[in-house]
């Protein structure tokens, strides 16, 4: 019964441990930056900094297209990035199997995506991840900026998507439980890895984009 | 207070650089350093990178994110758990003296603090803020580029980066009054408005100063220039030397206080506006009690209030607008120049859909005075040209004398025939037709 024992382990204690580390780590990283504090600013703002900060946080991800010439040169970043994030969030929380798991853990019922939508999301996320990774490897600017961190993260996420698809769509049958366990094991690893890597950018998004909006409001510019 | 430009770089300089970077971290800076996802989109926004790219060369080191990478490393090993552990085990940042030269190239030669990358970055990272820290650290270590250091020191010693002292200032004003037949009040007490020109205008574009005087006279405000606060540009910001910034602002404060003014009018100069509008209140929180307006802002206000009237459109040919980054994108004066230009030009074609997207002149942030940066400035100008050419305009209206100087220079070097004109001058021209 090793397969079931492993399955239970990755779905139970390991997942709980990973989540614990995740929240602790993320909170630590967030508050560590927050506690650095800010010097006071006595210059009279020209617009409304706070409103702008909130506005930017809400609409920034949809504003890439306004820089049309950058958008056209980096369509792969914008479209791939958008699809990937959409897929990643959609799949993580709203795929039937995942929604069930989150309900078990949090007690809150999660809305469930229809199968066809989760399939589209999964293929879109996997496809864009592969495209983005190739772009990283080939574009001279990205080559300079990319470290091992990015490749490891991309590989790990791709494997999670791949094993998820393998288990539920492509293989099935006898190896199902092993594939599923592997899928969950890798997901646990990812959850553990996030606070130690640049994948935790999602918390800093609120700070850095917030500051950008705050500055825009201070200077009275609208973009 | 002098800013140094050492030739020899040793361990002492490295240490000073390191400590300055370490001390400059606050919540905002740390957020930017942490948030970068290494997507490289900012490269496509930076005029230096674009300019190289258009001419067929790709220089990835011109990517904005890369310009802050050493600072990021220093941040990590001092403020993050993993970084500290690495340092403990001997894998910390080791800066070789040559690397500081490279940092000077990145921070002083290939960034004008234009802020365009901030707008394009999906994480909203304010690269100019980070580059300014690197500049400050280099200046702290005595490694300011020679040309910039000289001009900065001259501004402390003589009162202006072009060496304009009070006597020269008075002589120039006398010349301007005579030549352009305009009355310029000097040290008139009490005055409501203090207008401070930049020495670039005074020496190279005297008609800008005359035009500003004409506009102020026509608006019927009580205004004056000052022999104490006679330089608006602040080279302390280019070198990122806090002492110099403070000293230059102290003179402005002194002059404004002496005349008892309520408003300070910044001229057509980006860093002048930036330093007086956004930095001075933090340098002198107790004493700085003035409303700072850019001359373009003031003109727009006077036009709306009906205190100034323009008669007809003086600019007949197709024209486009060049925005000053420090007054526009980083200063919030973007709608005003457009409103004014629509009144002035028969065929005004904006080169950008969103004013905040305009491209820098390539010579801002002190890049213009650094001879070694000429190559980059010219390349940056190529990016700028693509925007001009899109509108098919040969006449470009500017509202910053430094931009105008940089654009004129690059344009001559690359043998282009654009004509650059000052907005205030156009306004003054349109006024004259009224009588
Ligand atoms: S665009 Fe922003 S997040 Fe992307 S590499 Fe540049 S600074 Fe980093
Ligand atoms: S501020 Fe302007 S010049 Fe500097 S890195 Fe950003 S886009 Fe380039």
Check: CB of residue B411 under 8 Å from CB of residue B388: no
Nearest C-alpha neighbor of B306 from the set B222, B218, B224, B223: B218
- The residue among A67, A74, A85 with the most chain B CBs within 10 A of its CB, best to mutate, is A67
Q: Which residue of B has its CA nearest to A223?
A: B356
Q: Does B66 sit within 8 Å of A144, measured CB to CB?
A: yes
**Residue among A56, A63, A66, A41 nearest A216 (CA):** A56
Enter the DSSP assignment of A223. -
pLDDT band at B355 (very low <50, low <70, confident <90, very high): very high
Between B79, B120, B331, which is nearest A67 by CB? B120
Ligand 2 proximity of B116 Cβ (cutoff 6 Å) = yes
Intra-chain end-to-end CA distance of chain B, in Å:
50
Q: For chain A, what is the largest distance between any 2 Cα atoms, rounded to a whole number of angstroms?
A: 69
Instruction: Tell me if the bond preceding B190 is cis, omega within 30° of 0.
Output: yes
Cα distance between residue B143 and residue B244, in whole Å: 15
| Nearest-CB residue to A36 (from B27, B37, B45) | B27
CB A14 within 8 A of CB A171: no
Q: Residue B335 class from Cβ within 10 Å (0-12 exposed, 13-18 middle, 19+ buried)?
A: middle
What is the CA(B116)–ligand 2 centre distance, in A? 6
Single pTM value for the model: 0.95
Percent of chain B's residues with pLDDT above 70: 99
Question: For residue B358, which of B114, B177, B156 has the smallest C-alpha distance?
Answer: B114
| Closest CA to ligand 2's atom 8 | B46
Q: What is the structure's pLDDT at A1?
A: 57
State the number of CA atoms in the 13 A half-sphere of B124 facing the CB.
Answer: 31
Contacts of B4 (CB under 8 A, 6+ apart): B142, B143, B144, B149
CA–CA gap between residue B109 and residue A47 (Å, rounded): 32
Centre a 10 Å sphere on the Cβ of residue B158 and count the other Cβ atoms it contains: 18
Q: In 3D, which of B363, B108, B127, B114 has the Cα closest to residue B239?
A: B108
User: Residue B45: its chain A contacts at CB < 8 A?
Assistant: 67, 70
Say yes or no: CB of residue B128 within 6 Å of ligand 2.
yes
- The gap from C-alpha B196 to its chain's centroid, in whole angstroms, comes to 16
Structure tokens at B230: 């006679």
**3-state SS assignment for residue B13:** helix
d(CA A71, CA B64): 17
Q: B401: CA distance to ligand 2 center in Å?
A: 20
pLDDT band at A178 (very low <50, low <70, confident <90, very high): confident
Q: What angle do CA A175, A180, A183 make, to 5 degrees?
A: 125
**Quick one: how far is CA B250 from the chain centroid?**
19
How confident is the model over B328-353, as a mean pLDDT?
96
Residue nearest to atom 2 of ligand 2 (CA): B114
Nearest to A223 by CA among B298, B386, B337, B358: B358
Q: In which band, very low, low, confident or very high, does the pLDDT at B354 lie, cut at 50, 70 and 90?
A: very high
Res. A174 pLDDT band, cuts 50 70 90 = low
Residues contacting A89, CB < 8 A, separation 6+: none
- Quote the ipTM score: 0.95
**DSSP β-bridge partners for residue B318:** B347
Decide if pLDDT at B148 tops 80: yes
Structure confidence by residue, pLDDT tens digits, B20-49: 999 999 999 999 999 999 999 999 999 999
């Amino acid at each position: 019964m090793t397969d079931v024992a492993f399955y239970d382990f990755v779905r139970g204690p390991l997942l709980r441990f990973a989540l614990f580390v995740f929240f602790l780590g993320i909170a630590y990283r967030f508050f560590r930056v927050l506690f650095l504090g800010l010097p006071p600013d006595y210059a009279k703002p020209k617009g409304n900094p706070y409103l702008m900060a909130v506005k930017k946080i809400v609409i920034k991800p949809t504003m890439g297209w306004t820089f049309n010439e950058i958008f056209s040169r980096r369509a792969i970043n914008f479209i791939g990035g958008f699809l990937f994030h959409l897929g990643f969030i959609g799949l993580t929380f709203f795929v039937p199997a995942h929604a069930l798991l989150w309900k078990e853990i949090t007690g809150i019922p999660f809305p469930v995506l229809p199968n066809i939508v989760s399939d589209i999301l999964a293929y879109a996320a996997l496809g864009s991840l592969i495209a983005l990774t190739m772009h990283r490897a080939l574009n001279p600017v990205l080559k300079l900026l990319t470290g091992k961190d990015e490749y490891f993260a991309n590989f790990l996420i791709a494997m999670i998507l791949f094993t998820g698809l393998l288990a539920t769509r492509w293989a099935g049958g006898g190896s199902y439980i092993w594939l599923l366990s592997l899928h969950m094991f890798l997901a646990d690893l990812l959850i553990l890895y996030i606070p130690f890597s640049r994948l935790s950018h999602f918390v800093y998004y609120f700070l850095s984009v917030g500051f950008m909006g705050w500055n825009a409001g201070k200077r009275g510019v609208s973009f | 207070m002098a800013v140094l430009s050492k030739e020899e770089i040793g361990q002492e300089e490295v240490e000073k650089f390191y400590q300055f970077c370490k001390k400059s971290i606050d919540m905002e800076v740390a957020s930017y350093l942490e948030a970068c996802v290494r997507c490289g989109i900012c490269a496509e926004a930076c005029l230096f990178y674009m300019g190289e790219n258009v001419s067929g060369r790709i220089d990835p080191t011109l990517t904005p994110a890369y310009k802050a990478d050493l600072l990021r490393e220093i941040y990590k090993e001092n403020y993050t758990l993993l970084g500290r552990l690495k340092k403990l085990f001997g894998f910390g940042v080791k800066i070789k003296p040559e690397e500081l030269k490279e940092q000077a190239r990145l921070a002083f030669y290939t960034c004008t603090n234009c802020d365009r990358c901030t707008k394009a970055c999906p994480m909203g990272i304010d690269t100019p803020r980070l580059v300014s820290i690197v500049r400050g650290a280099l200046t702290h270590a005595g490694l300011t580029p020679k040309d910039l250091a000289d001009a900065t020191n001259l501004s402390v010693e003589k009162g202006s980066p072009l060496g304009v002292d009070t006597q020269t200032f008075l002589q120039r004003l006398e010349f301007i009054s005579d030549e352009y037949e305009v009355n310029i009040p000097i040290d008139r007490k009490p005055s409501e408005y203090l207008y401070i020109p930049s020495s670039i205008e005074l020496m190279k574009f005297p008609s800008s100063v005359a035009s500003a005087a004409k506009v102020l006279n026509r608006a019927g405000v009580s205004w004056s220039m000052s022999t104490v606060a006679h330089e608006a540009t602040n080279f302390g910001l280019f070198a990122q030397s806090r002492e110099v910034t403070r000293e230059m602002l102290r003179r402005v404060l002194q002059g404004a206080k002496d005349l008892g003014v309520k408003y300070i009018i910044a001229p057509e100069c980006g860093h002048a506006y930036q330093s007086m509008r956004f930095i001075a209140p933090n340098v002198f929180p107790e004493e700085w009690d003035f409303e700072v307006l850019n001359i373009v802002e003031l003109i727009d206000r006077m036009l709306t209030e009906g205190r100034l009237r323009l008669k007809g459109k003086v600019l007949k040919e197709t024209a486009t607008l060049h925005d000053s980054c420090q007054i526009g994108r980083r200063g919030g004066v973007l709608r005003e120049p457009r409103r004014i230009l629509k009144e002035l030009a028969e065929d005004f074609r904006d080169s950008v859909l969103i004013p905040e997207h305009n491209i820098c002149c390539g010579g801002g942030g002190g890049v213009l005075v650094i001879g070694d940066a000429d190559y980059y400035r010219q390349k940056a100008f190529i990016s700028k040209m693509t925007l001009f050419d899109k509108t098919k305009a040969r006449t470009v209206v500017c509202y910053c004398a430094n931009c105008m100087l940089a654009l004129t220079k690059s344009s001559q070097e690359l043998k282009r025939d654009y004509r650059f004109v000052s907005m205030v001058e156009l306004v003054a021209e349109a006024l004259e037709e009224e009588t």
